[in-house]
């Protein structure tokens, strides 16, 4: 399976028509969410002590369907898998539930300490995880809107985000305590703890449920094996690490970066016996007397991609030959520093949030200027620009 990494977006019962007014700047776009059918795009904005903004756009017409303000920032947004509800996090203790049929607030979910910071639905939509700055993760039963389970003191710091595995058996969490964790939801026990050198801001599972990926504040993207917890790959220092998203087919991963939106081809499928045999043959060539042979072996190994990284890591640790150990280390670095392409940029500033459309053909990005952009993933061309604005203000025109 081939993966592509992209480092990068974008609240009434009827949609509101747009005017020709424009607004310079705007609240920082903290989170983005497409509806499951791809018809709507939600954006939530602002820092903890600023007025929070939540907006929803109908993409076919560019019309605004929902605009809402909160006294404090709104750091998270998530549509239910059936598209009937939209949830917004909040920098107070209440998550906000919006009925997507009439775009009206249905209820608030209280009791989340200092902030309802991160949101995640199970694939069947029956459970909603809400993370908090009090270190807890609360699991809501959606049909009854009651808390069915609480992971108490899940982290020693703020819990920024969570994600469910596709099979619903495991929950991943990311925290300001510089760790990410995997939880067995049946027992409530922690399966794996991944330690990092910086705050971990976002986390997700790949659609095949085999891996978990997370981003950190220091600009690192890490991928770990779900079953074993073992390291798979680290992509280091691409910028900030505010957001990460993945397409439904698992072929593209998007990461928000201060430098812009990047697309990186990557293959996480397990190596078959032919690849393993080829790698071993090439590693043997690293001990050849001819440096040209050794260099060609290094190039050929780098071309095998991310899936051979664990095997190279093993060679780096266990090979008897110093040449092989050195070459294995260099090959891992070469593969980990995959070419970043294309680079999608916001002229006004860094990119803080990303979301893929359900069909994976477009990527939405947002930054601290309040501007949201929609990009064609195949060409890297910008196809739409929208400006977020305060609820009650005159609506800006979308730009094409």
pTM reported for the whole predicted model: 0.85
Q: pLDDT tens, 374-398? A: 999 888 899 998 877 644 455 443 3
**pLDDT band of 242, cuts 50, 70, 90:** confident
Average pLDDT of span 239-268: 76
Average pLDDT over residues 14-27: 44
Interval 81-92 mean pLDDT? 96
* Integer Cα distance of 239 and 350 in angstroms: 9
Please check the confidence at residue 248 and state whether its pLDDT lies above 80: yes
Weakest mean pLDDT among 175-179, 349-353, 394-398: 394-398
Q: What is the overall mean pLDDT for the chain?
A: 85
- Tell me: pLDDT of 15 over 60: no
The mean-pLDDT minimum among 291-295, 327-331, 340-344 falls in 340-344
Indicate whether 59 pLDDT > 60. yes
What average pLDDT does the segment 220-224 reach? Answer: 86
Closest by alpha carbon to 121, among 154, 100, 143?
143
Going along the chain from its start, the domains and CATH numbers come out as 2-262+344-387 (2.130.10.10), 273-336 (1.25.10)
Q: Where is pLDDT greater, at 129 or 347?
A: 129
Which residues, 6+ apart, have CB-to-CB distance to 341 below 8 Å?
262, 263, 264
Task: Choose the weakest-confidence range: 47-51, 101-105, 144-148, 294-298.
Answer: 47-51
- Span 2-23, average pLDDT: 39
If pLDDT is split at 50, 70 and 90, which confidence band does 10 have? very low
Mean pLDDT of the 173-183 span: 97
Q: Is the pLDDT of residue 260 over 80?
A: no
Range in 17-26, 121-130, 198-207, 359-368 with the lowest mean pLDDT: 17-26
pLDDT at 339: 52
pLDDT of 49 higher than 90 = no
Q: How confident is the model at residue 89 (pLDDT cuts 50, 70, 90)?
A: very high
pLDDT tens column, 120-176: 999 999 999 999 999 999 999 999 999 999 999 999 999 999 999 999 999 999 999
Range in 105-109, 123-127, 204-208, 268-272 with the lowest mean pLDDT: 268-272
Strand 179-184 relative to strand 40-45: parallel, antiparallel, unpaired?
Answer: unpaired
- Ranked by mean pLDDT, which of 225-234, 239-248, 295-304 comes out on top? 295-304
pLDDT at 322 over 80: yes
Percent pLDDT > 90 in the chain is 58
Looking at the predicted structure, is the pLDDT value of residue 310 above 70?
Answer: yes
Per-residue pLDDT at 337:
64
Q: How high is the pLDDT of residue 22?
A: 37
What is the total residue count of the chain? 400
For residue 336, the model assigns a pLDDT of 65
């Amino acid at each position: 399976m081939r993966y592509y990494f992209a480092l990068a977006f974008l609240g009434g019962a009827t949609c509101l028509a747009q005017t020709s007014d424009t607004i310079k700047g705007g609240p920082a776009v903290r989170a983005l969410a497409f509806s499951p059918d791809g018809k709507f795009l939600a954006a939530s904005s602002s820092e903890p002590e600023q007025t929070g903004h939540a907006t929803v756009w109908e993409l076919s017409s560019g019309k605004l369907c929902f605009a809402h303000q909160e006294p404090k920032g709104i750091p998270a947004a998530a549509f239910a898998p059936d598209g009937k509800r939209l949830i917004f996090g909040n920098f107070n203790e209440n998550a906000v539930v919006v009925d997507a049929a009439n775009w009206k607030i249905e209820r608030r979910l209280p009791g989340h300490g200092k902030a309802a910071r991160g949101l995640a639905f199970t694939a069947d939509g029956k459970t909603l995880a809400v993370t908090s700055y009090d270190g807890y993760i609360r699991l809501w039963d959606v049909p009854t809107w009651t808390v069915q389970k609480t992971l108490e003191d899940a982290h020693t710091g703020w819990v920024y985000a969570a994600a469910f595995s596709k099979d619903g058996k495991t929950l991943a969490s990311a925290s300001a305590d510089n760790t990410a964790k995997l939880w067995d939801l049946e027992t409530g026990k922690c399966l794996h703890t991944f330690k990092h050198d910086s705050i971990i801001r976002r986390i997700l599972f790949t659609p095949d449920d085999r891996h978990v990926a997370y981003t950190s504040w220091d600009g690192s993207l890490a991928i770990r094996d779900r079953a074993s917890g073992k390291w798979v790959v680290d992509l280091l220092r691409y910028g900030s690490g505010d957001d990460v998203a993945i397409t439904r087919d698992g072929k593209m991963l998007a990461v928000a970066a201060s430098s812009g939106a990047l697309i990186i081809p990557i293959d996480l499928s397990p190596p078959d016996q032919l690849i393993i045999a080829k790698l071993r043959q090439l590693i043997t060539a690293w001990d050849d007397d001819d440096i040209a042979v050794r260099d060609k072996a290094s190039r050929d190994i780098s071309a095998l991609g991310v899936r051979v990284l664990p095997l190279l890591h093993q060679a780096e640790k266990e090979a008897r030959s110093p040449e092989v150990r050195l070459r294995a280390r260099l090959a891992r670095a070469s593969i980990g520093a995959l070419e970043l392409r294309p680079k999608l940029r916001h002229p006004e500033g860094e990119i803080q949030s990303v979301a893929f459309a359900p069909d994976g053909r477009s990527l939405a990005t947002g930054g601290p200027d309040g501007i949201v952009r929609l990009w064609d993933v195949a060409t890297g061309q910008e196809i739409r620009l929208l400006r977020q604005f305060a609820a009650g203000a005159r609506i800006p025109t979308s730009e094409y």
